[in-house]
Structure 1
Amino acid sequence: EDARPPAVTVLAVPGLPAETILDVAKDADMIVVGSRGAGGFKKLLMGSVASQVTHHAHIPVVVIPAEES
């Protein structure tokens, strides 16, 4: 038995992560993304996909933080 509710769609799509997520989610009700929690200088250089998605999405975005180890 599938654990996902029938209203959830999961896609694997190639492309630039934030741009592709926003493009594919145009008709979605919500975006859910994970966050690895990269911080400091590394985050400034590379940017954060979750941050880009939350700043540019026109629908609600839920960010699931990485577990602390």
Structure 2
Amino acid sequence: MLADALRDPAQQYRDVPASSEVVESSARRALLDAESGTDLLVVGARRRRGHAGLQLGLVHHTVLHHAPCPIAVVAQI
């Protein structure tokens, strides 16, 4: 599923290096481990009906406070 989802964007933006990896770990630990040597980490966040802004959870807070690289939190559509 991941390879299928990334196929079209990878072909459209060939000059942008990207990689993917599937790991078995907690999301917080996996993201913090993957961030070393990363230029930018992009994570999605949900918008909940009736709430202003993005709803951030434990994973978001962990990477925002402990990441050694810039973080982009984007709304999932």
Give me the TM-score of the superposition, normalised by structure 2.
0.62
Q: CA RMSD in A?
A: 2.5
Question: Which of 5, 27, 44 pairs up with 1:34?
Answer: 44
Structure 1's consecutive aligned runs of 4 or more residues displaced over 4 angstroms after TM superposition are: none
| Separation (CA, whole Å) in 2 of partners of 1:48 and 1:16 | 11
Q: State yes or no: 1:49 paired with 2:59.
A: yes
Segments of structure 2 that go 5 or more residues without pairing to the other structure are 1-6
| SS, match of residue 9 in structure 2 | coil
- C-alpha deviation, 1:48, in angstroms: 2.1
Residue 14 of structure 1 corresponds to which residue in structure 2?
A: 24
Segments of structure 1 that go 5 or more residues without pairing to the other structure are none
Q: How many residues align?
A: 61
Per-residue Cα deviation, 1:33-61 (whole angstroms, up to 9, x for no partner): 1113578xxx8xxx421121111101100
CA separation of 1:37 and 1:53: change in aligned 2, threshold 3 A: farther
CA separation of 1:37 and 1:15: change in aligned 2, threshold 3 A: farther
Give the letter aligned to residue 9 of structure 1. Answer: S
Which structure dedicates a bigger proportion of its chain to helix? 2
Question: Using CA pairs below 8 Å that are at least 6 residues apart, which structure has the higher relative contact order?
Answer: 1
Give the letter aligned to residue 36 of structure 2. Answer: K
